[in-house]
Amino acid sequence: MNKIKHYLAIGPVFAYFLRVFRKDKEGKYPHSFNLKMMHGINKISIIIFLFCLVVMVTRCATR
């Protein structure tokens, strides 16, 4: 049962979202150009996903 809980834990997902949108002031994570670009693309995709989710919910609510 603990193994299943470990695989279904969503805490690390939210921690990643918070880490992507926050600057690394402590120097804890590597700073390569490729990693910065990956996080930038992830930011854009997260924002577009949330925007589309809002549009879909409003369309569903107004019909």
Residue ranges per structural domain of the chain: 30-63
Using alpha carbons, select from 32, 2, 34, 29 the residue that is nearest to residue 16.
29
Return the pLDDT at 58: 96
As a whole number of angstroms, the distance between CA 63 and CA 60 comes to: 6
How does residue 29 score in pLDDT terms, banded at 50, 70 and 90?
Answer: low
34-56 confidence digits (pLDDT tens) = 888 888 898 899 889 989 999 99
Calculate the dihedral angle through the C-alpha atoms of 10, 12, 14, 17, rounding to the nearest 10 degrees: -140
5-14 confidence digits (pLDDT tens) = 777 777 777 7
This prediction has a pTM of: 0.59
